[in-house]
Structure 1
Amino acid sequence: MAEVPDVETLLDAAVRAVGGTHREGQVRMAGAVESAIEAEEHLVVQAGTGTGKSLAYLVPAIRHAMVEDTTVVVSTATIALQRQLIERDLPRLAGELAPLLGRAPTFAILKGRRNYLCRHRLQSAGDEPDDTELFDPRQLSSLGRQVKRLHEWAAETVTGDRDELNPGVSDLAWRQVSVSANECVGAAACPFGQECFAEEARAAAGGTDIVVTNHAMLAIGAMQGYQLLPEHEVLVIDEAHELVDRVTSVATGALSERSVNTAAKRAARLADPEVTERLSETADGLTLMFAETDAGRIDHLPEGLAGAVRGVRESAQACKSAIGPADEGDPDSGNASERRLALAALDEVQDTARRVLDSFEPPLRERSDVVWLAKNPKQPPTLNVAPLGVAGLLREKLFGDRTTVLTSATLALGGSFTALSEQWGLGRETAEPDTAAGGPDGPGDSGNGDAPGTADSADGEPRWRGLDVGSPFDHRRSGILYVAGHLPPPGRDGLAPSYLDEIAGLIEAAGGRTLGLFSSMRAAEQAAQELRERLTLDILCQGDDSTGRLVEQFTEEPSSCLFGTLSLWQGVDVPGPSLQLVIVDRIPFPRPDDPLASARQRAVGARGGNGFMAVAATHAALLLAQGTGRLLRSVDDRGVVAVLDPRLATARYGGFLRSSLPPYWGTTDPAVVRDALRRLDTAAAPAVG
């Protein structure tokens, strides 16, 4: 193609397209992404809120894709960012950059097969014996109405994408009309193969410049070996702070009475009843053993439970043998779909049972998986198995044969990229990082002098560099970090009266305008209930309505407050005077009885490391940074982050946590903070009155 303008010229055009302004951090990040692609070297970039990181990686990605006639994959964690990229950023860029590039850049979104309606499965929706028989008549009636609506939607939709269905339907209803990759009979054998929504999405993604996907797709492709994405040599992972959790979630197996019964009922249409009934009986055995086993992490598998799990494994194998291979028989006979669905369900319970049993064979210190029994009043008991870490998987499958850029507003924990880079399997940085003022010092001085363009460093670990481009916000002038050092450490029996008094005083001084981030739903509900009786302000609480509607109401009513838990820590974007105070009730460490976190902590300790700092403190630092990042969403925002947990100021790990946060001006003086909040309230009143 004709000579293409450099990245900086293209970025200037892109910024004009979105009505933005020149940002030094954005320019530095775009240049670093371009350099990483050219050097075939991984890049970790922390780009604070307001940097404009999407354009900073999209512009060099588009340029590379068009110059090299290849595809660049962009992965995100949330639907919101996917939509922003596909519906706003990329269309604007395509129109603005087309004259400079000679043609408009092309782009597509690609999700897992389960996200698309399956026309073949749709034909039997409502006629499935597996899930529906497990629910009462009222639930069946609701399910039937939802499936009927899906039939009507199927006649209208162009994409079959679940995210375009508004309002949505339950997961149970969607399962009646969708299939996983294992359950799909394949386009060649499917009578609807020529009009398959999932295949159309994959075809649309092939040959495009930019493909937008999600972390779960990356994980499925890595673990199961499917070629789900187009061939690509460059991968951009946005919201990279969520990568490990998303991959771990995909890699977690679950075994329950329901999953075993579902497999047995699907197999019953294709195999001898005597064989499938034995599998159903093992579901009953699981239920009995679950009742005799305490919830939580299981370090030593009780013999009774082990026998029940072995029964599932062996009975599922017997059913598979009775049914025969997936491709056996005439694909046009009508049972190809039933065979696939049955074998997929049997594979899932058999593989999970095998993983559970195999995980206990090595000595405790050498295990790579953790098993736990979850008991929840709203859900049936479930036996889970998950990997202790995913670093090896990511190192081999994501970083082994492509250039990967990982970015987020929150990556440098404790002033260093080390914590997350080790979880990703990148190891230590191979060169001194390029840091911005106030950015991290980097994880060490382990540069080994390898020439650019080599995929691995001398010790075999992937080559990578870290960069913190800072933020356009002046945090010390715009925000205060207040730690309530005079309060007692938080207890386990809900919020103490002194905490409620502190919250009430802060909210009164702020005139509302408060986002309360709580470590549990119980604490959020307690605070909402008690403060509604003490204050005349409107206190909204997560669960009162949909989260989206609550955030909208909170934004529209500056004197209101919004209390909630985890999804609000990361999912609220409210610029302006409606949010001038963020309250955090306690440092968000994992629960001591969290099976996965506690097992990971123990494993780090067994290797001679500090398990608390590597797991619990890192988890807390990440959430704190995300939560406090809700305060400043535009350059004009002002406000206070109030952490009620005094350990942030007094504990030895407090320095690590504070250095993971933006560089706010800090104080422990409640009078100073309340005065500041009153001034902010007074100044904001005319703007919203």
Structure 2
Amino acid sequence: MPQIPSFDSSGSAGAGGPFLPDAAAMVPSRARGGGAIAVSADGEIEELGPEEALRRIEREPVMLVHAGFTARRIARGRQFREPGPHILDLMELFAFVHPAQTCLPTPEGLARALGIEAGETPEDQALMLREAAAQMLATLQNLALPDRPSAARTAYRMAEGGWAWGPGVVAALRDALGREGKPPGSRGFDIWNELPEWEERGPRPPAGSMPVSEAEARAQLALLAGDDAERRTGQADFAGAASLAFAPRDAAGAPNVVIAEAGTGIGKTIGYIAPASLWAARNKGTVWLSTYTKNLQRQLDQELSRLYPDPAEKAEKAVIRKGRENYLCMLNFAELADRAAMGGGAVAIGLVARWAKASRDGDMVGGDFPAWLAARLGGVTGRTGLTDRRGECVYTACPYYKKCFIERAIRKARRAEIVVANHALVMRQAALDQAMGPVAHRPVKAAEAAGNAEDEAPSGREALARFVFDEGHHIFDAADGAFSATLSGLETAELRRWIRGAEGQRGRRGRGIEERVGDLIAEDKLAEEALAAALSAAAALPAPGWTARIHDGAPRGAGEKFLALVRQQVHARAEDNDSPFSLEAETMPPVPGLMEAAAALDDALKRLAAPLQLIADRLRARLDDEAEDLDTSTRIRMDAAARGLDRRVRILIPSWRSMLASLNAATPEAFVDWFSVERLYGREIDMGMHRHWRDPTIPFADAVLEPAHGVLITSATLRDRLVEEAEDDEGWETAEIRTGASHLAVPARRAFMASPFDYEKQVRIFVVRDVSRTDINQVASAYRELFRAAGGGALGLFTAIHRLRAVHERIVTPLEEAGLELYAQHVDALDTATLVDIFRAERHACLLGTDAVRDGVDVPGDSLRMIVFDRVPWPRPDILHKARREQFGKARYDDMLTRLRLKQAFGRLIRRATDRGVFIALDARLPTRLTSAFPRGVTVHRVGLAEAIDESRRFLSGGEAELAPAKATP
């Protein structure tokens, strides 16, 4: 049994500092084969082999930084048990002492966050961990520390729940617990009593229409950049072009749309903030800045501090806005806190409590919530159990409604000048607005239908009239997700749960429709009968345990029987059933029985929709009939419930029924249908039918662009330049097709600003011609030696996760023996954003990743000096791609997508005028026609691996390459 850590509770600041545990501090060593360096409480330094280090972690209290992550690095591929609750994780202590503050989960990151020296060697770092622990425990004794009584109560409950740091933290805060030395009653996690309430404010008047001139935009840019900033002609030109999107609209349906490709290094973020902020302040309106990645949202938040240097003003005028599934739900938290107080998950809930009190906005996904803590929540409920992603909100019936993070963000966004959102949120709102209108055939996912339109964005089209879509090259993919539909097991089971609740599942909270609206329709006989009918009809949808029953060949109900036959057809028609990856198949011709099963499911959905609609109608009738008597709280609940029902009846169910009907007729020409079996690590997790637009920019243009007054769409990778196109004004057709601008009645304005970098001097591009792409050992060897040649600062990009893992397994030990830390998406127990942050902070680190890393990395300076692609990033040849390929130009469409991916990846390499970088493709099949993805004038050298290694080392060390002349990129 693991030992319980002992603490010095004397309060003296002896050699170890106050309340420091009698435990060793441990960090991974750099020895061959793994292991660790440990420093005992007496200062004795030991070098441990991996087996001994893992044994101690398993049995003894040990100080680690991010226990699971560190144990993996010590193990170096060996089997080990996840560290237990006896481990003293310094990330937990930091999150308690400094909640909602940034700290990378590494020794260097911890030292940087605390303002102490990390040291160069593992021995130094292990010693530093003890210093860090002592400093944080001493901080808790500081009487000026905010909320010490609240912190003490929370720590006490966490200690009761077995927190390894608990005894020392409680001892440091004991004076704040009062005479009793413990919290009164069950207090400790009840942070809702200490959160401020939001207040309703009157509606904002419509925004004005006064324009922003190019000269004004340039002047505002200069003001924001500051007197000491370098004057960039391209950035000023970009700001001037962006101002055209803020001109007044001359006719309905004719927005001012500007498509601007601004090369890397232009500084487009502040370039469009300049005219956007002027327009918003001048017209008392709101501009929505939409991004695709969380990384850019964070960058925008930082840039807005230039516009609003006063934090109070920034909090009022600039808001980061996301879907409600990103925010902490106080009702969910309170229920889990009650459970934790009785002995379940007290440590994780306590850390969430500390964070929630200090959080800027309650955003658990990409905000100030510690990303590493999400894994810690897995033993409690997972992060999703603390957010409202199931459409269960009871609004004013919730006792925490006036303190709700989501409601606060919604109201702030209604009055803000700048709202930083994401493409998914903006398009989801637009999809709902469209689907709730006269056009009912547009496919919308259940997640979108479950969302509350009032929750997702300000009501009224006027509030969504001015947009900037940064990372505009992702509009096609974002629209593809927003305007699609899925009739699957998970989606239909979710609708059943929304109607019938958790149905007795232990440990799952689920408020069914009866709990949400039962009291609102009491004594309304028609509505009560409809509720009973809806509960009965929903039984035809997949019930808990549906996956096991389908796998066992014993489906129950219309929904499960349809899914079972879909699964049968996919397995019968798929080419490789033994593959661990997801499978798909055409919908036609159907296997025997599928048509009958589809008809039965369609009938069940029809019988479900009628009573749901009746309940919505009766709620609205009561709103009308009792307008004089209903209190505000009840009106809000009734209106929200009616709209939630409407969305399912008018959007979700008709979308599914339309898909089922096409099995007996034909898929509408604008759409693509197919069946799939979704797998995760070889295990089947879902199955069903999908419907996507062939061209998703059609509904995007219809729902977002046409109703808007002005839209700026910008990116560094909008145009696809072909080899034979020699002028910089070519490639716009691709940009307009991918952004939806080609569907507008009035042509979009175009603007191009080239990168200011001297790529001929700053970059070398190599295509390695003698590495077999099918031999993973050769590929791994190439990565290992290229990363060594670069001395770190290298990013490895992969087109498949299984190859990434295989390469990681082969190169992690030799790289770390060479002093190069290797991190990997899909391997390390950290989210992508945190991995990128660590990579950015450590000059000699290397990182392996896939698409999310390729598109989300912003690493200026020396921390990224080499990019290695394992293969040409061709698009995946699935059913949807096959249909789009036919529509958009066949082989030319494939080339376009691949060039844009190469162009996006290359754009990560050079971010400053002083950067140097090497771009390497380990695929000799890279055709010349794709090299137009790279900047003009840069030579693409096709060389052997040895030559690429040697020349990369020479170039990155400051020397000039000695390669024979080769043809430059046209």
Tell me which of 361, 381, 394 is aligned to 2:700.
Answer: 394
Displacement after TM superposition at 1:14 (Å): 1.0
Aligned to 1:567: 852
Q: Please say if residues 524 and 563 of structure 1, whose CA atoms lie closer than 8 Å, have aligned partners that are also in contact.
A: yes
Q: Bigger CA drift: 327-336 or 251-260? A: 327-336
1-structure distance, mates of 2:499, 2:336:
17
Give the structure 2 partner of residue 541 of structure 1.
824
Match of 1:464 in 2: 748
Find the residue that maps to 2:868 and give its secondary structure: strand
- TM-score normalised by the chain length of structure 1: 0.78
Partners of 2:905 and 2:741 lie apart in 1 by: 26
Structure 2 SS opposite 1:43: strand
Are 1:146 and 1:173, in contact at CA under 8 Å, matched by a contact in 2?
no
Q: Give the aligned partner of residue 298 of structure 1.
A: 586
The 1:205/1:318 distance shift into structure 2, 3 A limit, reads same
Q: Within 2, Cα distance between the matches of 1:125 and 1:318?
A: 36
1:587 aligns with 2:890: no
Unaligned stretches of 5+ residues in structure 2: 1-209, 250-255, 434-452, 501-511, 515-531, 543-556, 571-582, 623-632, 722-729, 960-970
Question: Could you report, residue by residue, the CA deviation over 1:400-439 in whole angstroms, capped at 9, with x for unpaired residues?
Answer: 13211111121122251322311322129xxxxxxxxxxx
Partner of 2:88: none
Q: Distance in 2 between matches of 1:125 and 1:341?
A: 26
**Quick check: 1:27–1:56 contact (8 Å CA) kept in 2?**
yes
TM-score of the superposed pair, with normalisation by structure 2: 0.57
Residue-pair matches, total: 618
Identity of aligned residues (%): 26
* Mapping for residues 76-475 of structure 1, pairs under 5 Å: 76-86=291-301, 88-95=302-309, 106-119=317-330, 159-162=361-364, 163-166=367-370, 167-168=373-374, 173-176=382-385, 178-179=387-388, 184=393, 194-225=402-433, 226=453, 228-229=457-458, 231-268=463-500, 270=514, 271=532, 274-280=536-542, 281-294=557-570, 295-300=583-588, 302=590, 304-322=593-611, 324-326=614-616, 328=618, 350-360=653-663, 363=666, 366-376=669-679, 377-383=682-688, 384-400=690-706, 401-414=708-721, 416-427=731-742, 461-475=745-759
SS at match of 2:741: coil
**Offset at residue 675 of structure 1 (A):** 3.7
- Aligned mates of 1:103, 1:541 — CA distance in 2: 36
Q: Could you tell me whether the CA contact under 8 Å between 1:266 and 1:341 is conserved in 2? A: no
1:669 aligned onto 2:943 = yes
Asked if 1 retains the 8 angstrom alpha-carbon contact of 2:392 and 2:498, the reply is: no
In structure 2, the CA distance between the partners of 1:152 and 1:287, relative to structure 1 (3 Å rule), is: farther
Deviations along 1:195-219, one digit per CA (max 9) or x if unpaired, are 4433322221223322221111211
Question: Kindly tell me: are residues 255 and 126 of structure 1, through their superposed partners in 2, closer, same or farther at Cα, counting changes over 3 Å?
Answer: farther
Taking a change above 3 Å as real, the CA distance of residues 251 and 173 of structure 1, as seen in their structure-2 partners, is farther
In structure 2, what is the equivalent of residue 659 of structure 1?
Answer: 932
Distance 2:844 2:319 in 1: 41
Which structure has the larger Rg?
Answer: 2
Describe the superposition over 1:184-235 as per-residue Cα deviations: whole angstroms up to 9, x where unpaired: 5666x76665444333222212233222211112111221104724624421
Q: Distance in 2 between matches of 1:466 and 1:334?
A: 45
Q: 1:342 to 1:6 in 2, by over 3 A?
A: closer
User: How far apart in 2 are the matches of 1:210 and 1:291?
Assistant: 47
Question: How much does 1:23 deviate?
Answer: 1.1
Shift of 1:356: 2.4
* Structure 2 equivalent of residue 612 of structure 1: 891
- For the residue of structure 2 that corresponds to 1:648, the secondary structure is coil
- Bigger shift: residues 35-44 or 199-208: 35-44
Alpha-carbon distance between aligned partners in 2 of 1:158 and 1:472, rounded to the nearest angstrom = 37
Give the drift of 1:501: 4.9
The aligned counterpart of 2:260 is: 45
Q: Within 1, Cα distance between the matches of 2:841 and 2:368?
A: 26
- Change in 2 beyond 3 A, CA 1:638/1:94: same
User: Is the contact between residue 267 and residue 319 of structure 1 (CA under 8 Å) also seen in structure 2?
Assistant: no
Q: 1:245 to 1:298 in 2, by over 3 A?
A: same
SS in structure 1 at match of 2:718: coil
Q: Which has the higher contact order (CA 8 A, sep 6+)?
A: 1
How far off is 1:254 after superposition? 2.7
**CA distance change for structure 1 residues 375 and 240 in 2, over 3 Å: closer, same or farther?**
same
1:60 counterpart residue number: 275
Tell me what 1:447 maps to. none
Alpha carbons of 1:397 and 1:667: their partners in 2 closer, same or farther (altered >3 Å)? same
Contact 2:771 2:779 in 1 (8 A): yes
Mapped to 1, the partners of 2:274 and 2:635 lie a distance apart of 50
- 1:379, CA displacement in angstroms? 4.7
Q: Which digits, 9 at most, give the CA deviation of each residue in 1:258-283, with x for residues without a partner?
A: 43334334433643565443334234
Q: Deviations over 1:96-141 (max 9, x none)?
A: 9x9xxx999932222223333445666777999xxxxxxxxxxxx9
Query: Is this contact kept in 2: 1:115–1:178, CA < 8 A?
Result: yes
Q: Does structure 1 retain, via aligned residues, the 8 Å contact 2:605–2:657?
A: no
User: Structure 1 pair 362/181, CA: closer, same or farther in 2 (3 Å)?
Assistant: same
CA deviation string 1:417-468 (max 9, x = no partner): 322311322129xxxxxxxxxxxxxxxxxxxxxxxxxxxxxxx633212222
**1:317 Cα offset (Å):** 3.6
Aligned-residue RMSD, C-alpha? 4.1
Q: How far has the Cα of 1:152 moved from its partner?
A: 7.7
- 5+ residue gaps, structure 1, are 129-140, 429-459, 685-689
Tell me the alpha carbon deviations over residues 7-60 of structure 1, each in whole angstroms, 9 at most, x when there is no partner. Answer: 22221121117x631111101100111234337531111122221111100001
Give the distance between the partners of 2:635 and 2:399, measured in 1 at CA: 11
> Which secondary structure does the structure 2 equivalent of 1:371 belong to?
strand
Could you say which residue in structure 1 is the equivalent of 2:804? 524
Q: Does 1:31 align with 2:240?
A: yes
